Amino acid sequence: MTEKVRLQDPISAVLGHRKREKYEARFWAKVDQSGGPDACWPWTGSTFKDGSGRCKLPSGHFIGAHRMAAAFCDNASPGKSYVVQGCKNKLCCNPEHGFYSDRFQAAQDKMMEGTSPVLYIAQKGAHNPKAKLSDLGVLQIATCFAHGETNMEIASQFDIHHSMVSAIRRGKNWTHILERAGVDDAFLSAPRRPKERPAYRPAVEAVF
Ligand SMILES: [Zn+2]
């Protein structure tokens, strides 16, 4: 007989671990808190390729150091939420500087600041001479999906053919941008507003 194993969120596993104190002490030892409670607390350990701090969990997972800092501080895993460093310091682990955000909001904020990796990665689409959309446009379209706009409505706003909007919605085109921005399928398939149908009129008037 096999017993079902419930996969636990690796951060929750750390928080509930019997050696949590030891792990937590080792974690904070890598955070430079010398600036005081209001200052940025830079991570002094290893980093991800993008320059943000990373820490290794006992489970072997690598996660953002600022994310682990928030988890220790709140004694809860951020789960699916993003932890955004409000101070814009990629290494900062001061939980006071972090706030929770959802994936899409975090991506949008980065787009507005111009710090999104999407802007660079998206060149793939923008370099295609047939491409008519900008990367920012694609993300705006994804927002329209979330607002329940129809393909036709979106197509007219962006001056493109509705089949292109449909391709984005179905994940056929521009997926590299949406993936990088963290827009997931749930957004793309947001329930569409029901079409307003014209009132029924019989084609032939009844003859008495
Ligand atoms: Zn900071």
75-85 residue pLDDT tens: 988 887 888 88
Residue 167 lies in a domain: yes
Query: Do 14 and 27 fall into the same domain?
Result: yes
Same domain for 63 and 18? yes
In this predicted structure, what is the pLDDT of residue 147?
75
Taking the alpha carbons of 112, 113, 114, 117 in that order, is the dihedral positive or negative? negative
More confidently predicted of 167 and 196: 167
Residues 160 and 88 placed together within one structural domain of the fold: no
CA 61 / ligand 1 centre spacing (Å) = 24
Tell me the CA end-to-end span of the chain in Å, nearest whole number. Answer: 76
Strands of 44-198 (E only): list them. Answer: 54-56, 62-64, 82-85, 98-101
Alpha carbon of 43 to ligand 1 centroid (Å): 10
15 and 91 in a common domain = yes
- Of the three residues 66, 101, 136, the one that is the final residue of a domain is 101
When pLDDT is cut at 50, 70 and 90, the band that residue 41 belongs to is: very high
How many A from CA of 25 to the centre of ligand 1? 20
Contact indicator for 63, 10 with CB cutoff of 8 Å? yes
Residue 111's pLDDT is what? 61
Q: Which domain holds residue 63?
A: 10-101
* Residues by chain with Cβ below 5 Å of ion ligand 1: 40, 87, 89, 92, 94, 97
Instruction: Kindly give the distance from the C-alpha atom of residue 42 to the centroid of ligand 1, in angstroms, as a whole number.
Output: 8
Distance 4 CA to ligand 1 centre (A): 42
